[in-house]
Amino acid sequence: MTTASAQPARNETLTGIFLMVVAISLFPASDALSKYLVGTYDALQVVWIRYIVQFAAVLIALAPRSRWHLMRTRRPGLQAVRGFFTVLSTLAFVAALGYVPLVDAVTLLFSSSLMLVALSVPFLGERVGIHRWSAVVIGFIGVLVVMRPGMGVLHWAATGALISAFSNAIYQIATRALSVTDRAITTFFYVNVAGVVLLGPTMFFVWIPMTWDAWVWVIAAGLLSGAGHYLLIRSFDHAGASVLAPFNYVQIVSATLIGYFWFSELPDFWTVVGLIIVVGSGLYILRREQRAAQAAS
């Protein structure tokens, strides 16, 4: 590659990394607003309004460009399955935030990369070697270090973050399958449809009238989450997944800062140890996957 052609490629990659970092930093901000709200309102109500806001934002963004054809999917059944697990992941995570420190919940959520490796064997037929299986086992040891079951350290609701991680792994598998036939923005559209439709009927049982400032916070949470997903999608237009994946862990930094300055939460020593184990295992798995891809090519 010549110097003249290398520079634009490098700029494209840097643009992708920048978009990824911004996107990943927006998610903890949205989660922090949700954490604040679930102290007063039911998690179902908060998450449903978030999906309403994201859905409206998608419609506004798409309609002026006459891009309704992007809403056509060749695999509606798989879109429905992915939408269900995405909604379950979001709901379980927000519910856990009502009882668990933000950085602890985000750390447990990162175990989804470990679950993804395990689930890729039966669902995707992938072959996983001893190195990646070892990293999965070590990563789950890190999860146990964070949760310390039986010691009364972390609230039982932390299991919600693990349910969220498992659901996250399922919908990532569905995303891989859908990427062959459907555009990413199409998949994002149907996720919001699933959130609005699935959670809507529950409002008859959990709805509590909201104050004007609560409306401001929940709308902001929806906009931040929607913007994060949109920028995440755009980042992959500029750089490959193998380049961007490590920057996903920037979320830990923003979650720690927000947790400290807003909720006066700081991870204790063992949470930091567990975090290092989980993140280290995830990065090792990513490295092994990159080497396997290079060997295959």
Tell me how far CA of residue 237 lies from CA of 185, 188, 198, in angstroms.
12, 15, 30
The pair of structure tokens assigned to 16 is 């992708």
How far apart CA 206 and CA 49 sit, in angstroms, is 13
* Cβ-based neighbour number of residue 262 at 10 Å: 14
Residue indicated by tokens 């990563």: 139
The pair of structure tokens assigned to 262 is 């807003």
Is residue 181 in some structural domain? Answer: yes
Is residue 4 in some structural domain? Answer: no
Q: What is the pLDDT of residue 85?
A: 94
Q: Are 47 and 34 in contact (CB under 8 A)?
A: yes
Is residue 43 in some structural domain? Answer: yes
Q: Is 128 helix (H, G, I), strand (E, B) or coil?
A: coil
Is residue 5 in some structural domain? Answer: no
Is residue 8 in some structural domain? Answer: no
Torsion sign (Cα): 73, 76, 80, 81: negative
Is residue 146 in some structural domain? Answer: yes
Is residue 149 in some structural domain? Answer: yes
Give the residue among 35, 27, 33, 86 at the shortest CA–CA distance from 247. Answer: 27
Residue 106 lies in domain: 14-296
Q: Please tell me the pTM assigned to this model.
A: 0.84
- The number of domains in the chain is 1
pLDDT 10s per residue in the chain (297 long)? 455 556 666 778 888 889 888 988 899 999 999 999 998 999 999 999 999 999 888 777 766 555 666 678 888 899 999 999 999 999 999 999 988 889 888 888 888 878 888 887 777 677 777 888 888 888 888 888 887 765 555 667 788 999 999 998 898 888 878 878 888 778 888 999 999 999 999 999 999 999 999 999 999 999 999 888 888 877 877 877 667 777 778 888 888 899 989 989 888 888 889 889 988 888 888 787 777 767 766
How far apart CA 80 and CA 52 sit, in angstroms, is 17
* Residue 257: exposure state from Cβ atoms within 10 A (0-12, 13-18, ≥19): middle
Is residue 2 in some structural domain? Answer: no
Give the residue among 22, 5, 9, 15 at the shortest CA–CA distance from 232. Answer: 22
Q: Are 158 and 96 in contact (CB under 8 A)?
A: yes
- Per DSSP, helices labelled H in the chain are 3-37, 43-62, 76-97, 102-109, 112-124, 130-147, 158-178, 184-199, 203-206, 212-235, 241-244, 250-263, 269-296
